[in-house]
Amino acid sequence: MEYKAPIGVKIDLETGVILDAKKLVRRLSDLKGYFLDEKAYEELLKDDPVVYEVYAIEQEEKDGDLNFATTVLYPGKVGNEFFFTKGHYHSKADRAEIYYAIKGRGGMLLQTPEGKAEWIPMEPGTVVYVPPYWAHRTVNTGDEPFIFLAIYPADAGHDYGSIKGKGFSKLVVEADGDVKVIDNPKWKV
Ligand code: PA5
Ligand code: NI
């Protein structure tokens, strides 16, 4: 029997960085078609800001193993819609996931394939259980980076296609200085 070596790494709790992790950067240009206000999107695209960064420690896609990753989701809005991650189902749709909020403020939008959505606010210390079959997207509703850890089965995979095409049935927006979760006018089942 060949045993894999255990790993111990440190998350910088101020920046979310995990040294030696694989770093992924998502800019606004990677999120074309995701935000409702297309005019505001095109305007902001001139600066093409970084929307989020992911620091992932991943294993081979095998049943029983685990991956983990921090995400640093920057504050910002497109129109009145807060910056968010793309959001995805898992390719193996029955795989669950755990999120742990480290810094900043935000929340998670979750959705079943039928379009039933849930919003869970997150602040440092909040743990979110993402059950099997639910799509999930995080949203930064604050004015500093929203940093969290995600732990997920190594064989879960990311299925972005459906959310990219249809979005979530709810949007998280700023209205009168408050965070509001509203119906997505473009949503179709
Ligand atoms: O595994 C997860 O669900 C997270 O690490 C996300 O992949 C991360 O937050 C980035 O979001 P997305 O994969 O939807 O772009
Ligand atoms: Ni996931």
Residue closest by Cα to atom 9 of ligand 1: 71
Report the C-alpha gap between 161 and 167 in whole angstroms.
Answer: 10
* Degrees, nearest 5: CA angle 84-36-157: 45
CA–CA gap between residue 36 and residue 38 (Å, rounded): 6
- Give me the domains of the chain, ranges plus CATH numbers: 22-183 (2.60.120.10)
CA distances from 112 to 42, 57, 63, 89, 153 (A): 30, 27, 23, 9, 19
- Kindly give the number of the ligand 1 atom that is closest to the alpha carbon of 148: 9
Among 22, 71, 155, name the best residue to mutate to test ligand 1's pocket (greatest count of ligand atoms within 8 A of Cβ). Answer: 71
pLDDT of amino acid 9: 98
pLDDT at 189: 79
Give me ligand 1 centre to Cα 2, in Å.
30
pTM for the whole structure: 0.97
Neighbours of 60 (CB within 10 A): 9
**Tokens 């060949």 label which residue?**
2
Cα dist. 98→18, 68, 140 in Å?
18, 9, 18
Tell which atom from ligand 1 comes closest to the C-alpha of 138: 9
State residue 188's pLDDT score. Answer: 85
Per-residue pLDDT of the chain (189 residues; tens, 9 = 90+): 999 999 999 999 999 999 999 999 999 999 999 999 999 999 999 999 999 999 999 999 999 999 999 999 999 999 999 999 999 999 999 999 999 999 999 999 999 999 999 999 999 999 999 999 999 999 999 999 999 999 999 999 999 999 999 999 999 999 999 999 999 999 987
Ligand 1: residue whose CA is nearest its atom 10: 85
How far is 170 from 111, CA to CA, in rounded Å? 9
Closest-CA residue, ligand 1 atom 4, reads 150
Ligand 1 pocket residue status of 106, Cβ below 6 Å: no
Q: Which residue's CA is the nearest one to ligand 1's atom 1?
A: 150
Residue 14 structure tokens: 């101020």
Q: CA-to-CA distance for 162 and 101, rounded, in angstroms?
A: 26
Q: State whether the beta carbon of 70 lies less than 6 angstroms from ligand 1.
A: no
Distance CA 160, CA 111 (A): 13
Q: Is 85 in the pocket of ligand 1 (CB under 6 A)?
A: yes
